[in-house]
Amino acid sequence: MKTLKKTLADLLHQDAALRCVLLAVGMLSGCQLEPTTEYLPLPPPPTAALPPAATSEQRPKLAGIAAHKFSIAKDRRIVGRLAVIRTQDGDTLSDIARHFGLGYHEITLANPDIRPWTPKAGQRVLLPLRFILPDAPRKGIVLNLANMRMFYFPPKQPDVMFTYPLGIGREGWNTPLGQTTIVAKKANPAWAPPESIRREHAAKGDSLPAVVPPGPNNPLGKYALSLGFNSYLIHGTNKPYGVGMQVSHGCVRLYPEDIKALFKKTAVGMPVRMVHQPYMTAWVGDRLYLEAHQPLQKWAGQKQRLQKSLLKQLRQAAAEKGVTVDWEKVDRTLQRADGIPTPILAASLDVPELAAKAPEVQHPVHFYGQPVVPELTGSDWAILVADFHNAAMAQQLAAMLTHQGPPIPARKVGKDGTYQLIAGPFKNKKEAELIAHRIRMDFEMDAKPLPPGTVALPQENASTQ
């Protein structure tokens, strides 16, 4: 536990905190049979903070914004727009991302100076809802692993495109490239964990059954599309806050609401193409945009070649159009690699200026899927997860637990100048012991069940007891 506390303290303001702790959690995914090429998430380079919008109070706020469905013209390769939302108490970037159809990687790269799990109230969060379509036939499903995003082109609607964020294969488990098809569809799928995954869990002291039935503990969620690539699926998840990260055993994960929508739209035989395109360009009128991502680790050795090819492409485009490319801006965009389509011609605006001009979206009463922590009373079983001297550290881990799948309700409780991280409520001893075991396995923390009446109640509840 001392090691975990030190890690959290050191990384409290960094995206790496989630990877060090949340990725250690058993984010089950039954897909690939054996580990293959390594995938390692790359840390984002430093980015300028989102500037304040001096005139935002004078502009009306948007009631909503397109996040999934976009109209597309035949020769248009860019859709959507940037927007911002102002945080309120209790928000997390994960809740904001899911509500607006973004993945964890997308929203944290776009907002590197905001703490993902404990943002301050009133901060302006950039919603990177502008996307460049990958260079691939507009037919069926196209997955760009580089930006962890799916593009779906309905067969009878050539002027419409749907897009969804993805979770893909983690370190040692490779999501494949190439072309295949949907070979089967299954609602409420059972999961038979491959022997390799069962060995992985057994090594942690957490045995898996031969078959996991449908339900809240099934990592496939409620819908699965089997692909022609042997043992690979596009499926839902019982851990939605891993979407937009490299956390699976090779399969492709979608938010539960997104796989439900896709499941209804697709049919057996639909083509599926998986590509890796970290650098994409698109014209909008006389403006040229560049969208840059860090190549995934498998292709990291090709980064120089990929960038050289991009620069050649940009020189040719500039010569054909008779325009001037701002090469310093190209370099900054490549270094930033935040996935935000950026205009790169001379005298064009950069991301900070675009963000300052972005419209503000109204804050909803409740973000879609945002977990609610039930009140803890003196008659409930609970779990003591850890003690902290730092309130922000305790709140961050509480938010992480609450956003687990299935959720583990947690809150920080002040006690004698320190902060206890308390999980609960639980209805009985058995449930509390099962969750404590799960925390020990996933977080390597010595969580201890607490009988009713033995936990100091949170201050917000104490007055009602």
Cα-Cα end-to-end distance for the chain? 32
What confidence score (pLDDT) does residue 28 get? 37
What confidence score (pLDDT) does residue 9 get? 39
Q: CA 151 to CA 140: how far, in whole Å?
A: 8
What confidence score (pLDDT) does residue 70 get? 97
pLDDT tens for each residue of 38-56: 222 333 334 445 555 544 4
pLDDT tens for each residue of 65-80: 999 999 998 888 999 9
Q: Is the pLDDT of residue 170 over 80?
A: no
What confidence score (pLDDT) does residue 173 get? 63
Cα dihedral: 88, 89, 91, 93 (round 10): 70
What confidence score (pLDDT) does residue 195 get? 73
Evaluated on CA atoms 214, 425, 25, 101, the torsion sign reads: positive
What confidence score (pLDDT) does residue 14 get? 38
Q: Is the pLDDT of residue 19 over 60?
A: no
pLDDT tens for each residue of 317-359: 999 999 999 999 999 999 999 999 999 999 999 999 999 999 9
Catalytic residue annotation:
235, 251
Q: Is the peptide bond before 425 cis (omega within 30 degrees of 0)?
A: yes
- Cβ neighbours of residue 335 under 8 Å, at least 6 residues apart? 45
What confidence score (pLDDT) does residue 428 get? 96
DSSP 231-243: T-EEE--S-GGGT
Mean pLDDT (the chain) is 85
Task: Look at residues 293, 229, 320, 257 and name the one whose alpha carbon lies nearest to residue 33.
Answer: 229
What confidence score (pLDDT) does residue 53 get? 52
- Cβ neighbours of residue 415 under 8 Å, at least 6 residues apart? 456
pLDDT tens for each residue of 247-282: 766 689 999 999 999 999 999 999 999 999 999 999
Lowest mean pLDDT among 48-52, 86-90, 104-108: 48-52
Residues 403-428, mean pLDDT to the nearest whole number: 92
What confidence score (pLDDT) does residue 135 get? 96
Three-state secondary structure call for residue 436: helix
pLDDT tens for each residue of 117-162: 999 999 999 999 999 999 999 999 999 999 999 999 999 899 999 9
What confidence score (pLDDT) does residue 266 get? 97
Cα dihedral: 409, 165, 341, 290 (round 10): 130
Q: CA 235 to CA 221: how far, in whole Å?
A: 7
**Amino acid in position 265:** K
Residues 228-247, mean pLDDT to the nearest whole number: 89
Q: Is the peptide bond before 449 cis (omega within 30 degrees of 0)?
A: no
Tokens for 67?
Answer: 């996040």
Q: Is the pLDDT of residue 36 over 50?
A: no
Residues 404-427, mean pLDDT to the nearest whole number: 92
DSSP 264-287: HH--TT-EEEEE--SEEEEEETTE
* pLDDT bracket for residue 197 (50, 70, 90): confident
Cα dihedral: 234, 26, 196, 259 (round 10): -10
Tokens 């850890």, located at residue: 386
What confidence score (pLDDT) does residue 435 get? 95
What confidence score (pLDDT) does residue 183 get? 97
Higher pLDDT, 211 or 69: 69
Q: CA 435 to CA 325: how far, in whole Å?
A: 56
Residues 195-199, mean pLDDT to the nearest whole number: 72
DSSP 64-104: ---SSEEE--TT--EEEEEEEEE--TT--HHHHHHHTT--H
What confidence score (pLDDT) does residue 113 get? 96
Altogether, the residues listed in the chain come to a count of 465
Lowest mean pLDDT among 41-50, 109-118, 441-450, 455-464: 41-50
- Kindly tell me the burial class for residue 449, based on how many C-beta atoms sit within 10 Å of its own C-beta (0-12, 13-18, 19 or more): buried
Q: Are 452 and 465 in contact (CB under 8 A)?
A: no
Q: Is the pLDDT of residue 169 over 90?
A: no
* pLDDT bracket for residue 163 (50, 70, 90): very high
Q: CA 60 to CA 48: how far, in whole Å?
A: 26
CA distances, 83 to each of 53, 108, 361 (Å): 12, 15, 7
